[in-house]
C-alpha cells in the first residue's frame, strides 16, 4: 500500500510539470517565424496592388519600414516598392526574398540592412558573407537587377558598433568596385557631426532611426545615384557580368548564369488597348513598344522585332480566320517573321469588347464562345507556324461606368472576369497537346488597374459620366511591363 501511495504522489507531482512542458512546446511550435505577419501583409498587398515588373524595391529593415508611404512619394520617378520590415537582419531578408522580392523582377534593389546583424553580435565578415549570398540568389533569378547598397550609418544609439559598421562598409565598397551591377551609396557623412558621430537632431527619440529631416538628406543622394546609373544601364554587356561575379566570390565557377542571346519576333494581337488608342504617339507609347523595351532591358534580349496588330473595337469574333477581317494581317506579319531567324511569339489580349453588353461584333460573347473563338485562333496559328509560342493574357479591368459607343457597365465587367478561367483552362488543355507552346500571360494587370485607374487611365466622358477604359501614357507603359514579363517567362523559363 505504501508503494502504491508513493507512486500516486509521484504522478500527481510530475503530471502537472509534464503538462506545462507540453503546453510550452505547443506554443513554441505554433510561433510564427520572425516578421511573418509583415511578410504575409506584403504578399496580400501584392495581390490587390501588384508591383510592376522593373520597379525599384527598397529592401531591408526598419529604415525603410519607418519611412512609410512617404518613401513611394520621395522616389516616385523610380516606381518604388517598399519592402522593409521590422528589425530585419540579412538572414531574415534571405528567408523572405522568394516571397516578397524575386517573383516581381525588380530593375533595382536599394538595400539597407546589416546594422541589426552587427548589433546582434555578428562579425562584419559574417555579414558580408550573408550579403554575398543575397546577391547570388538575386542575380541567379535576374542577372540584370542593379543593387544599390546604402552604407551602414552612425546612429547615436549604436556608437559602440561604429568600428564594426565601418569595416562592413569598407568591404561592401570594395566589392562594389569589382562588380557591375552593385553600387555603393555613402550616407555616413550626411548625418555625422564633426566627431564622426550621428547627429541626434536627425534621429528619432530612439537615437537609431532617421526622422524626417534625416530622411530628406538621403533623398537627393539616393536619387542622384539611381539617375546616374539609368543613363548607362543599356551599356552593360550581360555576358561580361558572370566572370566578374565569379572572381568576386558571388558565384562558383560551376554555377553559370545563362544570358539569352535569343532573337524574338512578336506579333501583338488585340483591340484598341493594344493599338494604343488615345495616346499622343502610338509608335513610342503603345504597350507593345514598352513590352519590347522591357525585354531588352530586363531579360537582355537585344534583338526584337514586333508587329502591332491591335484594332480598336475588335473582338475574338473579328480575329477568327473565317471572318477574313483582321486575321489575314496577322498571318502576313507571321509569314514575314518566319523568313527571319528567332523565336516567333504571338501575344494575345482579347476580351474587353467581347464582354460588352452591346455594340462590338458578336457581343456579348458567352464564356464558352469566347473560349471556342480563342481555340480556333490558336489552332490556326499553331498549325501555320510550327514551333511558335502563344502567350494569352488576361484582359485588364475597366470601370463599371464604361459606356461610349458601346455599352459595357457592371454586367460587362462581370462577364469579362468569367473569361479568365476559360483562358486558364484552354492553356491547360494545350499543355497536353502542344507542351511548352501555349502559356497564360499576364494575370496581374486587372488588379493593378483596378487600384490605379485614376492615375493610369484616360478620363473619358460617356453616357454614364466619366469612365475608364484606355490606359494613358503611364498606364500603357505599365501594361507593357506586365506583358513583357509574361512573354519573358514564356520564352526563357
Same domain (yes/no): 238, 273: no
CATH at residue 451: 3.40.50.1110
Q: Consecutive 10-residue runs of the chain (493 residues): their mean pLDDT?
A: 48 47 44 89 97 97 95 96 96 98 96 97 98 97 95 95 97 96 96 90 96 97 89 65 92 69 93 98 97 92 95 98 96 94 97 98 98 98 97 98 98 98 98 98 98 98 98 98 97 90
- pLDDT score at 228: 85
Same domain (yes/no): 225, 298: no
For residue 60, what are the β-bridge partners? Answer: 84, 112
- pLDDT score at 16: 46
Return the H-helix or E-strand segment holding 170: helix 162-176
Of the CA atoms within 13 Å of residue 197, those in its CB half-sphere come to 9
Domain boundary among 221, 247, 273: 247
Return the H-helix or E-strand segment holding 109: strand 108-112
Domain boundary among 180, 213, 247: 247
Q: Which long-range contacts (CB under 8 A, 24 or more apart) does 230-235 make?
A: 233/146, 233/297, 234/296, 234/297
- pLDDT score at 181: 92
* Distance set, CA 262 to CA 234, 238, 296, 299, 300 (Å): 17, 13, 11, 10, 9
3-class secondary structure, 143: coil
Same domain (yes/no): 331, 466: yes
Distance (Å, whole) CA 94 – CA 33: 13
Q: Has residue 6 been placed in a domain?
A: no
Distance (Å, whole) CA 350 – CA 358: 16
- pLDDT score at 233: 55
Q: Has residue 378 been placed in a domain?
A: yes
Distance (Å, whole) CA 484 – CA 475: 14
- pLDDT score at 218: 98
- pLDDT score at 100: 98
Helix axes 473-492, 287-299, angle to 10 degrees: 50
**Per-residue model confidence as pLDDT tens digits over 159-173:** 999 999 999 999 999
Same domain (yes/no): 242, 281: no
Q: Has residue 252 been placed in a domain?
A: no
Q: Has residue 464 been placed in a domain?
A: yes
Same domain (yes/no): 322, 441: yes
Distance (Å, whole) CA 348 – CA 3: 83
Domain that holds residue 359: 263-492
Same domain (yes/no): 318, 456: yes
Helix spans in 310-460 (H): 327-338, 367-384, 409-433, 445-451, 453-456
Same domain (yes/no): 69, 200: yes
Q: Has residue 254 been placed in a domain?
A: no
- pLDDT score at 19: 44
Same domain (yes/no): 276, 211: no
Distance (Å, whole) CA 203 – CA 206: 7
3-class secondary structure, 403: strand
Q: Has residue 23 been placed in a domain?
A: no
Distance (Å, whole) CA 162 – CA 396: 51
Same domain (yes/no): 71, 154: yes
**Per-residue model confidence as pLDDT tens digits over 242-267:** 899 999 999 987 666 656 668 999 99
Same domain (yes/no): 349, 452: yes
Same domain (yes/no): 279, 239: no
**Per-residue model confidence as pLDDT tens digits over 76-107:** 999 999 999 989 999 999 999 999 999 999 99
Residues in the chain, total: 493
* Structural domain count of the chain: 2
For residue 80, what are the β-bridge partners? Answer: 56
Domain boundary among 193, 218, 247: 247
Distance (Å, whole) CA 366 – CA 370: 6
Q: Has residue 140 been placed in a domain?
A: yes
Helix axes 162-176, 124-141, angle to 10 degrees: 40
Same domain (yes/no): 228, 317: no
Q: Has residue 430 been placed in a domain?
A: yes
Distance (Å, whole) CA 478 – CA 482: 7
- pLDDT score at 178: 94
Residue where the block lists cell 455599352: 407
**DSSP letter string, 343-364:** EEEEEEE--TTTT-SBSSTTPS
Amino acid at each position: 500500500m505504501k508503494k502504491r501511495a508513493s507512486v500516486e504522489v509521484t504522478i500527481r507531482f510530475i503530471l502537472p510539470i509534464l503538462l506545462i512542458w507540453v503546453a510550452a512546446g505547443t506554443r513554441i511550435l505554433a510561433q510564427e517565424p520572425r516578421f511573418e505577419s509583415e511578410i504575409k501583409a506584403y504578399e496580400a498587398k501584392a495581390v490587390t496592388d501588384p508591383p510592376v515588373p522593373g520597379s525599384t524595391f527598397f529592401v531591408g529593415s526598419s529604415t525603410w519600414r519607418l519611412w512609410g508611404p512617404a518613401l513611394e512619394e520621395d522616389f516616385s520617378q523610380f516606381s518604388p516598392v517598399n519592402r522593409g520590415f521590422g528589425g530585419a537582419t540579412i538572414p531574415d531578408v534571405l528567408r523572405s526574398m522568394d516571397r516578397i522580392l524575386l517573383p516581381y523582377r525588380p530593375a533595382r534593389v536599394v538595400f539597407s540592412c546589416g546594422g541589426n546583424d552587427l548589433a546582434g553580435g555578428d562579425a562584419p565578415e559574417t555579414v558580408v558573407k550573408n550579403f554575398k549570398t543575397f546577391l547570388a540568389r538575386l542575380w541567379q533569378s535576374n542577372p540584370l537587377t542593379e543593387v544599390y547598397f546604402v552604407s551602414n550609418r552612425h546612429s547615436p544609439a549604436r556608437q559602440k558598433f561604429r568600428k564594426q559598421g565601418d569595416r562592413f562598409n569598407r568591404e561592401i565598397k570594395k566589392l562594389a568596385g569589382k562588380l557591375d551591377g552593385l553600387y555603393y551609396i555613402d550616407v555616413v557623412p550626411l548625418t555625422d557631426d564633426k566627431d564622426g558621430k550621428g547627429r541626434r537632431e536627425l534621429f528619432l527619440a530612439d537615437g537609431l532611426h532617421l526622422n524626417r529631416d534625416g530622411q530628406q538628406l538621403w533623398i537627393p543622394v539616393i536619387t542622384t545615384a539611381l539617375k546616374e546609373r539609368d543613363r548607362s544601364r543599356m551599356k552593360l554587356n550581360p555576358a561580361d557580368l558572370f566572370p566578374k561575379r565569379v572572381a568576386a566570390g558571388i558565384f562558383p565557377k560551376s554555377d553559370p548564369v545563362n544570358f539569352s542571346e535569343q532573337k524574338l519576333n512578336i506579333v501583338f494581337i488585340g483591340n484598341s488597348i493594344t493599338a494604343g488608342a488615345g495616346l499622343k504617339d502610338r509608335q513610342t507609347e503603345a504597350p507593345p513598344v514598352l513590352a519590347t523595351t522591357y525585354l531588352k532591358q530586363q531579360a537582355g534580349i537585344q534583338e526584337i522585332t514586333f508587329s502591332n496588330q491591335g484594332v480598336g473595337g475588335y473582338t475574338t469574333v473579328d480575329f477568327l480566320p473565317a471572318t477574313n477581317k483582321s486575321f489575314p494581317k496577322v498571318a502576313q506579319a507571321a509569314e514575314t517573321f518566319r523568313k527571319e531567324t528567332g523565336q516567333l511569339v504571338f501575344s494575345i489580349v482579347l476580351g474587353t469588347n467581347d464582354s460588352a453588353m452591346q455594340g462590338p461584333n458578336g457581343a456579348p460573347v458567352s464564356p464558352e464562345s469566347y473560349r471556342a473563338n480563342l481555340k480556333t485562333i490558336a489552332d490556326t496559328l499553331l498549325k501555320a507556324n510550327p514551333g511558335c509560342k502563344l502567350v494569352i493574357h488576361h484582359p485588364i479591368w475597366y470601370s463599371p461606368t464604361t459606356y461610349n459607343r458601346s455599352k459595357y457597365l457592371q454586367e460587362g465587367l462581370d462577364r469579362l472576369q468569367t473569361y479568365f478561367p476559360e483562358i486558364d483552362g484552354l492553356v491547360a488543355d494545350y499543355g497536353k497537346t502542344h507542351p511548352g507552346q501555349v502559356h497564360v500571360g499576364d494575370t496581374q494587370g486587372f488588379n493593378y488597374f483596378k487600384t490605379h485607374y485614376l492615375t493610369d487611365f484616360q478620363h473619358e466622358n460617356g453616357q454614364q459620366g466619366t469612365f475608364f477604359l484606355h490606359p494613358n501614357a503611364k498606364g500603357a507603359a505599365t501594361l507593357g511591363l506586365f506583358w513583357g514579363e509574361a512573354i519573358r517567362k514564356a520564352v526563357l523559363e
